[in-house]
Chains A and B, each alone.
Chain A
Amino acid sequence: MVAMFDGYVSSGPAYDEMFDGDRLRPPYARLRTSLDTMTTPELVSRVEALQKGYLDQGVTFDIGGEERAFPLDILPRVIEMDTWTTIEKGVQQRVRALELFLADVYDAGQVFDDGVIPRGVITTSSHYHRAAAHVRPPNGVRVHVSGIDLIRDNAGEFRVLEDNVRVPSGVSYVMTNRRAISAALPETIAEHRIRPVAGYPQRLLQALRAAAPAGVTDPTVVVLTPGVFNGAYFEHALLARTMGVELVEGRDLVCRRGRLMMRTTKGLEPVHVVYRRIDDEFLDPVHFRADSVLGVPGLIDAARAGNVTLANAVGNGVADDKLVYTYMPDIIRYYLDEEPVLRNVDTWRMGDAEARAEVLDRLDELVLKPVDGSGGKGIVIGPHATRAELDGLRTKVLADPRAWIAQPVVQLSTVPTFVDGSLGPRHVDLRPFAVNDGSRVWVLPGGLTRVALAEGELIVNSSRGGGSKDTWVLAGPTQVELQEAAEEPVTEPVAAAAEVPEVPESPVAPVAPPVHHAPEMPVGPVLADLHAQAEQQQQGGGPC
Chain B
Amino acid sequence: MLSRIAESMFWIGRYVERAEDTARILDVQTQLVLEDATVDEDATCRSLLSIMGVEHVEGRADLPLVLDALCYDPASSISIASALAAAREGARRARETLSVPMWEALNTTYRAIPSGQFQAMRAPAIFQWVRERAALVNGTADATTVRDEGWHFLMLGRCVERADMTSRLVASAALAGAGQPWTPTLRASGAYEAFLRAYRGMETERASAEFLLLDRLFPRSVVFALNRAEQCLENVESSQRAGFQNDAQRLLGRMRAELEYRSLSDLMDDLPHQMERVQTTCALATEAVTRRYFAGSEALAWQGVQG
Contacts of B298 in A (CB 8 A): 251, 525
Contacts of B181 in A (CB 8 A): 507, 510
- B297 adjacent to A506 (CB under 8 Å): no
User: What is the distance, in angstroms, from A301's C-beta to the closest C-beta of chain B?
Assistant: 14
Contacts of A264 in B (CB 8 A): 1-3
Tell me how many residues of A have a C-beta within 8 Å of chain B.
63
Contacts of B121 in A (CB 8 A): 498
B interface with A by C-beta (< 8 Å) = 1-7, 10-11, 14-15, 18, 27, 31-32, 35-36, 38-40, 43-44, 46-47, 50-53, 55, 77-78, 86, 89-90, 92-93, 95-97, 100-101, 103-105, 107-108, 111, 121, 124-129, 132-133, 136, 149, 168, 171, 175-181, 183-184, 187, 236, 272, 275-276, 279-280, 282-283, 286, 293-294, 296-302, 304-307
Task: Give the distance in Å from the alpha carbon of A285 to the alpha carbon of B306 in the complex.
Answer: 12
Q: Is A482 an interface position by the 8 A CB rule?
A: no
Q: Is A399 an interface position by the 8 A CB rule?
A: no
- A524 adjacent to B296 (CB under 8 Å): no
Q: Is A33 an interface position by the 8 A CB rule?
A: no
Of the listed stretches A76-84, A90-98, A486-494, chain B binds A486-494
B-contacting residues, A243-272, CB 8 Å: 246-249, 251-252, 254, 262-265
User: What is the distance, in angstroms, from A351's C-beta to the closest C-beta of chain B?
Assistant: 32
Contacts of B294 in A (CB 8 A): 265
A interface with B by C-beta (< 8 Å) = 55-58, 223, 228, 233, 237-238, 240-241, 246-249, 251-252, 254, 262-265, 285, 290-293, 297, 487-488, 490-491, 493, 496, 498-525, 527
- A263 adjacent to B18 (CB under 8 Å): no
Task: Give the distance in Å from the alpha carbon of A296 to the alpha carbon of B217 in the complex.
Answer: 49
- Given A493-B105, A518-B51, A291–B304 Cβ distance below 8 Å? yes
- B125 adjacent to A500 (CB under 8 Å): yes
User: What is the distance, in angstroms, from A252's C-beta to the closest C-beta of chain B?
Assistant: 5
Contacts of A57 in B (CB 8 A): 104, 107
- A515 adjacent to B47 (CB under 8 Å): yes
Can you list 22 A-B pairs, Cβ within 8 angstroms, ordered by A? A58-B107, A228-B92, A237-B92, A241-B95, A241-B97, A246-B2, A263-B3, A265-B236, A291-B306, A491-B101, A493-B104, A498-B128, A498-B129, A501-B124, A507-B36, A508-B179, A518-B50, A519-B279, A521-B18, A524-B11, A524-B90, A525-B297
Task: Give the distance in Å from the alpha carbon of A498 to the alpha carbon of B117 in the complex.
Answer: 13
Task: Give the distance in Å from the alpha carbon of A514 to the alpha carbon of B174 in the complex.
Answer: 10
- Given A252-B297, A525-B298, A516–B175 Cβ distance below 8 Å? yes
Contacts of A487 in B (CB 8 A): 100
Contacts of B31 in A (CB 8 A): 503-504
- A518 adjacent to B53 (CB under 8 Å): yes
Task: Give the distance in Å from the alpha carbon of A488 to the alpha carbon of B102 in the complex.
Answer: 13
Contacts of B180 in A (CB 8 A): 504-505, 507-508
Contacts of A249 in B (CB 8 A): 4
- Given A500-B125, A522-B283, A285–B1 Cβ distance below 8 Å? no
- A263 adjacent to B296 (CB under 8 Å): yes
- B103 adjacent to A265 (CB under 8 Å): no
* Central interface residue in A58, A241, A508, by most chain B CB within 10 Å: A58
| Chain A residue nearest in CB terms to B296 | A263
Contacts of B5 in A (CB 8 A): 246
User: What is the distance, in angstroms, from A19's C-beta to the closest C-beta of chain B?
Assistant: 38
B2 touches which of A248, A490, A515 (Cβ 8 Å): A248
Contacts of B104 in A (CB 8 A): 56-58, 490-491, 493
- B184 adjacent to A293 (CB under 8 Å): no
| Chain B residue nearest in CB terms to A227 | B93
Contacts of B46 in A (CB 8 A): 515
User: What is the distance, in angstroms, from B13's C-beta to the closest C-beta of chain A?
Assistant: 10
- A511 adjacent to B178 (CB under 8 Å): yes
Task: Give the distance in Å from the alpha carbon of A491 to the alpha carbon of B102 in the complex.
Answer: 11
* Central interface residue in B103, B178, B276, B302, by most chain A CB within 10 Å: B302
Contacts of B86 in A (CB 8 A): 523-524, 527
A519 touches which of B53, B236, B299 (Cβ 8 Å): B53
Across the A-B interface, give the 9 residue pairs with the lowest CB-CB distance, nearest first.
Answer: A498-B125, A524-B11, A520-B53, A240-B96, A509-B38, A241-B96, A512-B43, A513-B175, A290-B305
Contacts of A58 in B (CB 8 A): 92, 95, 103-104, 107
- B132 adjacent to A496 (CB under 8 Å): yes
- B50 adjacent to A55 (CB under 8 Å): no
A514 touches which of B15, B175, B187 (Cβ 8 Å): B175
| Chain A residue nearest in CB terms to B299 | A251
Contacts of A223 in B (CB 8 A): 96
- B133 adjacent to A518 (CB under 8 Å): no
Contacts of B7 in A (CB 8 A): 524-525
Task: Give the distance in Å from the alpha carbon of A223 to the alpha carbon of B46 in the complex.
Answer: 49
User: What is the distance, in angstroms, from B88's C-beta to the closest C-beta of chain A?
Assistant: 9
Contacts of B47 in A (CB 8 A): 513-516
- B96 adjacent to A246 (CB under 8 Å): yes
B14 touches which of A254, A293, A516, A524 (Cβ 8 Å): A524
Contacts of B304 in A (CB 8 A): 285, 290-293
Task: Give the distance in Å from the alpha carbon of A247 to the alpha carbon of B91 in the complex.
Answer: 13
- B78 adjacent to A252 (CB under 8 Å): no
* Central interface residue in A297, A509, A518, by most chain B CB within 10 Å: A518
- Given A56-B107, A507-B35, A516–B293 Cβ distance below 8 Å? no
Task: Give the distance in Å from the alpha carbon of A119 to the alpha carbon of B274 in the complex.
Answer: 77
- A521 adjacent to B50 (CB under 8 Å): no
Contacts of B3 in A (CB 8 A): 252, 263-265
B89 touches which of A246, A488, A514, A527 (Cβ 8 Å): A527
User: What is the distance, in angstroms, from B73's C-beta to the closest C-beta of chain A?
Assistant: 14
- B27 adjacent to A501 (CB under 8 Å): yes
* Central interface residue in B52, B55, B294, B304, by most chain A CB within 10 Å: B304
B51 touches which of A228, A251, A516 (Cβ 8 Å): A516
- A297 adjacent to B279 (CB under 8 Å): no
- A251 adjacent to B136 (CB under 8 Å): no
- A55 adjacent to B279 (CB under 8 Å): no
Contacts of A285 in B (CB 8 A): 302, 304
Contacts of B100 in A (CB 8 A): 487-488, 490
Contacts of B38 in A (CB 8 A): 509
- A496 adjacent to B133 (CB under 8 Å): yes
| Chain B residue nearest in CB terms to A246 | B2
User: What is the distance, in angstroms, from A404's C-beta to the closest C-beta of chain B?
Assistant: 29
User: What is the distance, in angstroms, from B137's C-beta to the closest C-beta of chain A?
Assistant: 10
Task: Give the distance in Å from the alpha carbon of A525 to the alpha carbon of B287 in the complex.
Answer: 11
- A499 adjacent to B128 (CB under 8 Å): yes
User: What is the distance, in angstroms, from B199's C-beta to the closest C-beta of chain A?
Assistant: 17
